[in-house]
Structure 1
Amino acid sequence: MIPLPDRDDGARRFLRGCFDRAVEVCRPDRILGGHLPPPPAGRTVVVGAGKAAASMAAALEAHWPGPLDGLVITRHGHGHPCARIRVVEAGHPDPDAEGERAAAELLRLVDGLGPDDLVLCLLSGGGSSLMMLPPDGLTLAEVKAVNGALLRSGAPIGDMNRVRSVLSRLGGGRLAVAAWPAPVVTLAISDVPGDEPATIASGPTVPPVSSPALAHAVLDRYRIPVPERLAAFLASDAARPPAADHHAFGAGRFHLMASGLSALNAAAEAARTAGIEPLVLGDAIEGEARQVGTVMAGIARSIRQGGTTASRPCLLLSGGETSVTVAGQGRGGRNAEFLLSFALGIQEVEGIAAIACDTDGIDGSETNAGALADGATAGRARAAGLDPADRLGDNDAYTVFAALGDLVVTGPTLTNVNDFRAVLIR
């Protein structure tokens, strides 16, 4: 048997530095000022939702030259002090009553505005759940049941938001229509693969891309039961999205301020500065987290063994949003699950180390952003009395990395451009 290598602390420090740099360049206080429109003749009303919404609101207050007021909704624990914009903390990934009440207030804030007024909409990842306002005829409990089933199903975020945008009084362009004739300027930080505006926070300010039929098809695809009341709603006129040619969409503007690619490019520059060649694999990688981990481990082994044209040392960078089909009873988000699978694929191989984290600082619903691993991880887990393959089968990657002291804990980062994965091969 190959002797088990020690934990590679030097590689881990480098990888953590790359992650910190990736998060830093996507912070609202660094990027928002260059995307602002001129002040209007009338009022400026701020609305928005997402894990970065509060820090975006604070950055807006620091840069906006005139009066403004409004409301944004963020996840519990992700608040930020604001002087003029009210911040409400609500539930994520499961919607709650606080978010429902705040979303209703958002609609009231934009009602009755005129063409000389301006709505600034601040959107970031998590907005779909945070401003979930069920349509008439459905309760929050019913929408939460659908949302929870989607989260457990392994559905990618695009499919999830095809359903959410139909089940929300703000999604699918409805917020922009409610604000009309006031124009809406959207400032967005994307956490979705492909950065499609209609998918970010379920697209409340842009023309809809989903429909009741598409939502029903997604639920059928993932074998999610459609209760009678939900089926009746999807078949009703109330479920129809706004027309794509509505005047509200022509008057609006959408600015993408940061995305997963922004984070990956920053990490790539940090690698070059350190004399390591970065290979950016893309910011739209999806699929089951453990399967992506297995594939990435195979790529890393091939590079390490000289089986590719890539030269060493190199850094494989990727982003996007993997998914987890929950079958076990353990703890752990998609980044920990990816990384435990990756660790099994590189066990007892020297010269490979990796980090996988969610840039919002929260991996799933846990307290960590993600974790670190190398060729010693699987063996160290067994030495600690944990079988890594068994723990992976029980969706219990958090327990493994917590026992090894290899969790990455940042707290809320106040931004969100989705997953960040970096694999160092020397």
Structure 2
Amino acid sequence: MPPESPAGLLRALFDAAVAAAQPALSLAAFLPEAPRGRTVVIGAGKAATTMAQALDAAWPAALSGVVVTRHGQRQPCRRIEVLEAAHPVPDAHSVAAAARMLDAVRGLGADDLVICLISGGGSSLLVQPAAGLTLADKQAINRALLASGADIAAMNCVRKHLSAIKGGRLAAACAPARVVTLAISDVPGDEPAVIASGPTVADATSCTDALAILDRYRIALPPAVRAALEAGELETPKPDDPCFARCEYHLIATPMRSLEAAAAVARAAGVTPLILGDALEGEAAEVAKVHAGIARSIAQHGRPLAAPCVLLSGGETTVTVRGRGRGGRNVEFLLALAVALDGHPRVHALAADTDGVDGAEDIAGALCDPTTLARARALGIDPKASLADNDGHGFFGALGDALVTGPTDTNVNDFRAILVR
């Protein structure tokens, strides 16, 4: 894809967004001073490897520790052990990683420092089931949440109350040591308590909130666990808990900073950017219809801005799974966008996850252009039927329009760019 082509420009915008979220660029500026005692590093997420490497390179004193990332993304780190576990549904490695981290911080004193490296995906990678729950229970609940259409805040509220490490419990395990959390945000609003289910952050939600979410989406629980939630026995540490007295939290990369980096590339190419927001949520197909309407308005009326321009947005859409396709919220968005645009001759688009994995596929997302629907029909593929079957990956894969980047080792959530020429 040459950079002067629409597809080439869209890919350059995506690459700029991903590059802006790399820990090597930003982590060192947030490091605290070395303590009188030990420095222990722990962490979880899709960016765990690159965050650990950046910390290892910048830290001037002794340190040790362990972090966990997604299977297939481990890279060597000189002084910090890197483990692997499953995402988006946890596995036995997720449980083992949680146990290792709790062991690493056990027995620390007031002169010690814990640096916690958190990024998107940590909820699945760091798992210690609450009393009465098995790993199989957690896996079943996680799968049901992922298919339910619940947003990330709702999913993580449930995860926190069914965990012995999330929702601030990891901070409690570190006390009385000082805890400095360095995080890359992958959630709308950059809320620390939601990122990776906030293992070092006080939780304002309640067991009652978790139960309401489970009931709303008709997700079953073992009877003993439901009873424990109803009795408030699985409550998370709250903001006034003394365990948070020596905790601090810094965001080293966010979706908005990545969108701003993409906007700068667009301006340099002579294309006016408009950032619609970094926290867009809702059903992917419905969000796509809104984006399509804005693109059509620009093409027809020059409002809210004149072409050539590019609409940029981030956040995390959801998909209520009704079909049997291969899924992916970004390709669901893009397929719905293509259907809504119906081959509009002036609109090209890209939608992808900045971690390089859209859903459970090792595919970041895809691109579409004015010929997308016609090319699909020429292959005997019905775009609306593919959308109804939640088969965005199958649709764009058949056209050769899938965007495959491999793991990007960071994660600032969804990235969407719609170019109107």
Q: TM-score, normalised to structure 2's length?
A: 0.97
- Counterpart of 2:156? 161
Q: Relative to 1, partners in 2 of residues 1:338 and 1:243: Cα closer, same or farther, differing over 3 Å?
A: closer
- The one-letter code of the counterpart of 2:365 is G
Find the aligned partners of 2:59 and 2:304 in 1 and give their Cα distance.
50
Q: Is the 8 Å Cα contact of residues 361 and 368 (structure 1) preserved in structure 2?
A: yes
- The one-letter code of the counterpart of 1:147 is N
- Using the TM superposition, give the Cα deviation of residue 234 of structure 1 relative to its aligned residue in structure 2, in angstroms: 1.2
Find the aligned partners of 2:135 and 2:304 in 1 and give their Cα distance.
53
- Using the TM superposition, give the Cα deviation of residue 307 of structure 1 relative to its aligned residue in structure 2, in angstroms: 5.6
Q: Work out which of the residue numbers 68, 72, 75 in structure 2 matches 1:73.
A: 68
- Counterpart of 1:300? 295
| Residues 1:96 and 2:91 are matched in the alignment | yes
- Using the TM superposition, give the Cα deviation of residue 232 of structure 1 relative to its aligned residue in structure 2, in angstroms: 2.1
Q: Is the 8 Å Cα contact of residues 149 and 318 (structure 2) preserved in structure 1?
A: yes
Q: Work out which of the residue numbers 346, 351, 356 in structure 2 matches 1:351.
A: 346
Secondary structure, aligned partner of 2:301: coil
| Residues 1:394 and 2:411 are matched in the alignment | no
- Using the TM superposition, give the Cα deviation of residue 115 of structure 1 relative to its aligned residue in structure 2, in angstroms: 0.6
Q: Is the 8 Å Cα contact of residues 297 and 304 (structure 2) preserved in structure 1?
A: no
- Counterpart of 2:371? 376
Secondary structure, aligned partner of 1:165: helix
Listed as ranges, the gaps of 5+ residues in structure 2 are none
Find the aligned partners of 2:137 and 2:382 in 1 and give their Cα distance.
39
- Counterpart of 1:128? 123
- Counterpart of 2:315? 320
Secondary structure, aligned partner of 1:423: strand
1:170-189 deviation line (CA, Å, top 9, x unaligned): 11111111110001000000
Find the aligned partners of 2:204 and 2:138 in 1 and give their Cα distance.
20
Q: Work out which of the residue numbers 177, 196, 199 in structure 2 matches 1:201.
A: 196
Correspondences of 1:106-121 after superposition (within 5 Å): 106-121=101-116
Q: Is the 8 Å Cα contact of residues 347 and 376 (structure 1) preserved in structure 2?
A: no
Q: Is the 8 Å Cα contact of residues 347 and 379 (structure 1) preserved in structure 2?
A: no
Find the aligned partners of 2:131 and 2:220 in 1 and give their Cα distance.
20
Find the aligned partners of 1:35 and 1:63 in 2 and give their Cα distance.
11
- Using the TM superposition, give the Cα deviation of residue 248 of structure 1 relative to its aligned residue in structure 2, in angstroms: 2.5
**Equivalent pairs, count:** 419
- The one-letter code of the counterpart of 1:115 is A
Find the aligned partners of 1:151 and 1:340 in 2 and give their Cα distance.
20
- Counterpart of 2:263? 268
Find the aligned partners of 2:187 and 2:256 in 1 and give their Cα distance.
11
Q: Work out which of the residue numbers 244, 249, 254 in structure 1 matches 2:249.
A: 254
Deviates more, 1:239-248 or 1:392-401: 239-248
Find the aligned partners of 1:381 and 1:68 in 2 and give their Cα distance.
54
- Using the TM superposition, give the Cα deviation of residue 245 of structure 1 relative to its aligned residue in structure 2, in angstroms: 1.4
Q: Work out which of the residue numbers 32, 35, 39 in structure 1 matches 2:27.
A: 32
Secondary structure, aligned partner of 2:345: coil
Find the aligned partners of 1:27 and 1:77 in 2 and give their Cα distance.
18
Correspondences of 1:41-60 after superposition (within 5 Å): 41-60=36-55
Secondary structure, aligned partner of 1:226: coil
Secondary structure, aligned partner of 1:41: coil
Q: Is the 8 Å Cα contact of residues 167 and 200 (structure 2) preserved in structure 1?
A: yes
Find the aligned partners of 2:278 and 2:292 in 1 and give their Cα distance.
18
- Counterpart of 1:4? none
Find the aligned partners of 1:52 and 1:424 in 2 and give their Cα distance.
29
- Counterpart of 1:10? 5
1:138-176 deviation line (CA, Å, top 9, x unaligned): 111111111111000010001000101111111111111
- Counterpart of 2:361? 366
Find the aligned partners of 2:55 and 2:225 in 1 and give their Cα distance.
39
Find the aligned partners of 1:144 and 1:403 in 2 and give their Cα distance.
31
Secondary structure, aligned partner of 1:16: helix
Q: Is the 8 Å Cα contact of residues 165 and 210 (structure 1) preserved in structure 2?
A: no
Q: Is the 8 Å Cα contact of residues 335 and 370 (structure 1) preserved in structure 2?
A: yes
1:316-365 deviation line (CA, Å, top 9, x unaligned): 00000001111111113000010001011112211110000000000001
- Counterpart of 1:336? 331
- Using the TM superposition, give the Cα deviation of residue 237 of structure 1 relative to its aligned residue in structure 2, in angstroms: 5.2
Secondary structure, aligned partner of 1:308: coil
Listed as ranges, the gaps of 5+ residues in structure 1 are 1-7
- Using the TM superposition, give the Cα deviation of residue 308 of structure 1 relative to its aligned residue in structure 2, in angstroms: 1.9
Find the aligned partners of 1:233 and 1:360 in 2 and give their Cα distance.
36
Find the aligned partners of 2:274 and 2:129 in 1 and give their Cα distance.
43
- The one-letter code of the counterpart of 2:49 is A
Find the aligned partners of 1:244 and 1:344 in 2 and give their Cα distance.
46
- The one-letter code of the counterpart of 1:317 is L
- Using the TM superposition, give the Cα deviation of residue 247 of structure 1 relative to its aligned residue in structure 2, in angstroms: 2.4
Secondary structure, aligned partner of 1:21: helix
1:376-422 deviation line (CA, Å, top 9, x unaligned): 11111101111111011111111111111101100000000000000
Q: Is the 8 Å Cα contact of residues 277 and 313 (structure 1) preserved in structure 2?
A: yes
Secondary structure, aligned partner of 1:239: coil
Q: TM-score, normalised to structure 1's length?
A: 0.96
Find the aligned partners of 2:292 and 2:145 in 1 and give their Cα distance.
28
- The one-letter code of the counterpart of 1:230 is V
- The one-letter code of the counterpart of 1:13 is G
Q: Is the 8 Å Cα contact of residues 207 and 232 (structure 2) preserved in structure 1?
A: no
Q: Identity of paired residues, percent?
A: 57
Q: Is the 8 Å Cα contact of residues 162 and 210 (structure 1) preserved in structure 2?
A: yes
Q: Is the 8 Å Cα contact of residues 391 and 400 (structure 1) preserved in structure 2?
A: yes
Find the aligned partners of 1:348 and 1:392 in 2 and give their Cα distance.
16
Find the aligned partners of 1:146 and 1:309 in 2 and give their Cα distance.
43
- Using the TM superposition, give the Cα deviation of residue 53 of structure 1 relative to its aligned residue in structure 2, in angstroms: 0.8
- The one-letter code of the counterpart of 1:324 is V
Q: Relative to 1, partners in 2 of residues 1:111 and 1:239: Cα closer, same or farther, differing over 3 Å?
A: same
Find the aligned partners of 2:256 and 2:221 in 1 and give their Cα distance.
36
Find the aligned partners of 2:76 and 2:224 in 1 and give their Cα distance.
41
- Using the TM superposition, give the Cα deviation of residue 9 of structure 1 relative to its aligned residue in structure 2, in angstroms: 8.3
- Using the TM superposition, give the Cα deviation of residue 29 of structure 1 relative to its aligned residue in structure 2, in angstroms: 1.2
- Counterpart of 1:5? none
